Structure formats: C-alpha cells, structure tokens
Amino acid sequence: MGCAYCSRKEKLTKEHIIPDSLLDIFAECDFTIRGNSYFKADPIIKDVCFKCNNEILSKLDNYGSNLIKKYFINEYEPDARLNIDYDYRLLSRWLLKIAYNGERSFKRNTELFKPYLDYIMGSTEENPRISLFAGLAIDTSPMPEYYHDNIKLQVITAPKFVGETILEPTDAFETSFRIRKNMNGLNISELKESFLFRFGSVIFLLLLWKDNSDLELVNSFEWIIENMYPYKLLNQEEREQTEIKRVTHAFNIHALVLIDTDIGMDFADRCSIGMFQGKDPIDIRKSLSLGWDEHVKEKRLKALENRKNIK
Ligand SMILES: [Zn+2]
C-alpha cells in the first residue's frame, strides 16, 4: 500500500486525525464524539509517508493550531463579534486534510478526496470547488460541558442544515416553544459532501461541491446559507479578514450535527432565557462547572509542562 497522499511506496508513518497540537491545547479532551461513535481523542492512521507527514502536512497543522491558539481558546460572550485574519488556502487545505484523515480512519468516503489531493499538498494553484464557512461556538446552555462528554474537538461528517428551525412556537404569540417533531433538512442539490469542525470556540463548515456542479447554483447556495444561517462565508479572493458571530444555541451546542437558522437561533435564545425565571443560564452553568474548570486548568498546565520537557 502506498502513501495516502503521494501514493509512493515509502515506509509509512503515523498521522493523527485531530492534530496532536490541538490535543495539547485542549488537553482535557480525552475522547471525542463523531456522529454516533465515540473514540479516544487520539486516533491515528498509519498510511502517510515520512516526507508528506513531516514536510507538508505538519506545516498545515502548524498553521491551523496557531490560528486556534490565537483566537479560539477563549470563550466568548453570547453577543460577541470577532474579527479574524486567515489564510484561505492554508486553512482550507488543513481542514480538507483533517476530513480526509478522519474518513480514512473510518474506512469511508476515501475516493471522494482524490480530486483534492494536489490542493492539499500545495502542488496546484487552482482552487477546488469548495466553500468554507465559520462561526463561534458559545455555550449558552445551563449544562456544564462534561455532562455531554467532552466535545470541544469534533469532526462531524454531513451535518444537517435544518430547513426551518429546531424549536417551533406552540402558540401564535411565540411565548412558548417545543422541539420540532419533523425536522426537514435543507436540500442542497449540488453538494457532494460536507464536514463540520469544532475546535474550541470556532466552528468551520467545509462544503465539497459535485465535480460538474453549476457554478451559479453553487453561488446561490452560498448566498442562501449566509443569509438564512448565522455562518459567515470565508472569502478566497478579497481581503482575508472577516467578522464572525455565534452559530450555536442552548439546544444545539451539545448536538452540533444540527445547524439552525437565524430564526431558530432567536427562538432558542428566547426559550432558554425564559426557562429559568430571570436567572442567566450561563451563570447557572458557570457555578456548576467550578470543579471541572479547575480540572481543565490542571490538565492543560500538565500538558504544557510535558511539551516543554520533550523539547
Ligand atoms: Zn507521501
């Protein structure tokens, strides 16, 4: 078997799915969840040659983990707006690589990535037909994060763009809400596959369009997503700086597979604020999380020390 990236028959080395630089930053994330399956947050694959791994892919990991360190270790306030600078090519190559590694480890979808390999390896100037969106993951729920396993690092294949809203009003005045029973997904005809990544307080959505997709249709889907959902389209041509905002609410922060609309965000925020008779759900979570926060601090400090000792 050859290398998954350059297909040369070299000695193969280990490569992490979630880059170990991220596992160092979020050291408390001992395991992660993906769709319905859980795995130790240190899964590896062994089909990448030394050269690809160390000369090309590790540079992408460096770029990605520095971006996460710069902006997304912090937790933000619910109405935060964050300006980020990014390098579109490096960021999209990094995310494609992580998605490809993940799919190989689950022995799915591996052929899907063949058309993107040259781009990931940086050996073509041509941009593949993909779209990249970003937003902030901010926990506005009263539940401490550990109640739902530790999900600061996640890769989800085929997240669902909710067609309407996750919650629906039960009366005409929209004073009470319930979880919608039949949640239809948005039908995105030109889509080949999609991935959602959560790393700390950022969520990236990576959409891969069909090879023969109609560019105008792709542009209209991009427009629809940017205008119906809180996500921001990351541009590959203009200035690579943009402002992103919260894309999660109390009802999907622990179920990121469901992507809610702007209207759904509003329903969910009104509903969760109304549930606690004037008490802020975030204050409730913070008071329940004191011990956990200590644990996180200690784990991260230890990881930092270990890193220093290795160097
Ligand atoms: Zn290789």
Q: How far away, in angstroms, is 261 Cα from ligand 1 center?
A: 41
**pLDDT tens digits along 273-299:** 777 777 888 888 888 888 888 888 888
Give the residue-averaged pLDDT of 94-115: 90
- Average the pLDDT over each of 12-26, 31-45, 190-204 and give the range with the smallest value: 31-45
Q: What is the pLDDT of residue 279?
A: 81
Q: What is the pLDDT of residue 219?
A: 95
Listed by start position, the domains of the chain span 12-293
Tokens of 298: 């200690």
pLDDT at 269 over 60: yes
Banded pLDDT at 120 (limits 50, 70, 90): very high
Distance CA 138, CA 242 (A): 18
Q: How far away, in angstroms, is 194 Cα from ligand 1 center?
A: 25
**Nearest-10 Cα torsion for 239, 234, 89, 187:** -150
The HSE-up count of residue 118 (CA atoms within 13 Å, CB side) is 7
Q: How far away, in angstroms, is 18 Cα from ligand 1 center?
A: 19
Q: Which helix (H) or strand (E) holds 239?
A: none
Q: What is the pLDDT of residue 273?
A: 74
Q: How far away, in angstroms, is 57 Cα from ligand 1 center?
A: 10
Contact 271, 128 (CB under 8 A): no
Q: How far away, in angstroms, is 1 Cα from ligand 1 center?
A: 11
Q: What is the pLDDT of residue 97?
A: 96
Q: How far away, in angstroms, is 156 Cα from ligand 1 center?
A: 25
Distance CA 184, CA 287 (A): 36
Q: How far away, in angstroms, is 124 Cα from ligand 1 center?
A: 16
Give the residue-averaged pLDDT of 94-104: 94
Question: Helices 290-310 and 281-288 meet at what angle, rounded to 10?
Answer: 60
Counting runs of H as helices and runs of E as strands, what totals does the chain give? 9, 15
Tokens of 256: 């990121």
Tokens of 196: 């959602």
Cβ count near 40 (within 10 Å): 9
pLDDT at 46 over 70: yes
Q: How far away, in angstroms, is 3 Cα from ligand 1 center?
A: 5
Q: What is the pLDDT of residue 35?
A: 54
pLDDT at 66 over 60: yes
Tokens of 300: 């991260």
Give the residue-averaged pLDDT of 3-14: 90
Q: How far away, in angstroms, is 7 Cα from ligand 1 center?
A: 6
Distance CA 209, CA 189 (A): 9
Largest CA distance in the chain: 66
Q: What is the pLDDT of residue 238?
A: 59
**pLDDT tens digits along 210-253:** 988 999 999 999 999 999 999 999 988 756 889 999 999 999 99
Q: Which helix (H) or strand (E) holds 33?
A: strand 31-34
Instruction: Give me the chain's average pLDDT, please.
Output: 88
- pTM over the 0.75 mark: yes
**pLDDT tens digits along 137-149:** 999 988 887 776 6
Q: What is the pLDDT of residue 142?
A: 85
Which position has the higher pLDDT, 311 or 113?
113
Q: How far away, in angstroms, is 97 Cα from ligand 1 center?
A: 13
Cβ count near 44 (within 10 Å): 15
Identify which of 200, 204, 266, 194 has the alpha carbon closest to the alpha carbon of residue 233: 204
How much of the chain is in helix, strand and coil states, percent to nearest 5?
Answer: 40, 25, 40
Q: How far away, in angstroms, is 49 Cα from ligand 1 center?
A: 4
